[in-house]
Amino acid sequence: MIKSIIAAKSDNNVIGKDNDLVWHMPADLKFFKNTTKGHYVIMGRKTFESMNGPLPNRTHIIITRKLDYEAEGCFVVESIEAAFKIAEEKLLDEVFILGGAEIYRQTIDKADKMYITEIQSTFEGDAFFPEIDKSYWNEVKREAHEADEKNPHPYAFVEYLKR
Ligand SMILES: NC(=O)c1ccc[n+]([C@@H]2O[C@H](COP(=O)([O-])OP(=O)(O)OC[C@H]3O[C@@H](n4cnc5c(N)ncnc54)[C@H](OP(=O)(O)O)[C@@H]3O)[C@@H](O)[C@H]2O)c1
């Protein structure tokens, strides 16, 4: 099973602020939706609560230390290992790790693949993506886009594979 991180980060590695995103980039939302559609997605409790309920057409695995946490229609687990175990038991080809910062930090060394949207600007934030160590991660694909009327920052869809 391929464990894939998917994230959008700025040039200074910001991924969020006040438990929300800090940019409006519909092209990235579309990419995210198309890439994760139909798949199992793993996320921290705070990222889950930053969304307006579960994302359609995806199966959610929420990680929390709160033993009584409930989210209708979602798996709730107490560790990253337990999240991967559910995905393994379902015999999935690929599982997506959706963040946020705490979860990326704890899974970047366990993941096989990363889909990173570079939002090519700097932002203030309080949630950060870990530094990508290029001696472990090989950039295998890059699709660059200019800013346009709907997407105010230049951006690139980048894929990395573990070396
Ligand atoms: N740009 C992007 O691609 C992207 C993607 C996702 C999220 N974000 C942003 O990231 C921010 C949220 O990130 P965050 O770091 O604050 O929160 P998070 O990683 O989403 O969730 C943290 C929570 O996960 C649980 N958790 C973490 N590690 C655990 C472990 N080892 N075992 C059990 N439970 C564990 C804990 O939940 P309990 O407190 O319930 O125990 C912890 O409080 C927001 O600003 C969001 O918008 C951005």
Q: What is the pLDDT of residue 81?
A: 97
Q: In 10 A of CB 9, how many CB atoms? A: 22
Percentage of the chain with pLDDT > 90?
A: 98
62 beta partners: 43, 76
Peptide bond just before 53 cis, omega within 30 deg: no
Q: How far is the CA of 149 from the centre of ligand 1 (A)?
A: 31
Residue ranges of the chain whose pLDDT lies below 50: none
Can you tell me which atom of ligand 1 is nearest the CA of 99? 6
- State the DSSP string of 34-91: HHHTTSEEEEEHHHHHHSSSSPTT-EEEEE-S-TT---TTSEEESSHHHHHHHHHHTT
Q: How far is the CA of 60 from the centre of ligand 1 (A)?
A: 14
Ligand 1 near 7 CB (within 6 A): yes
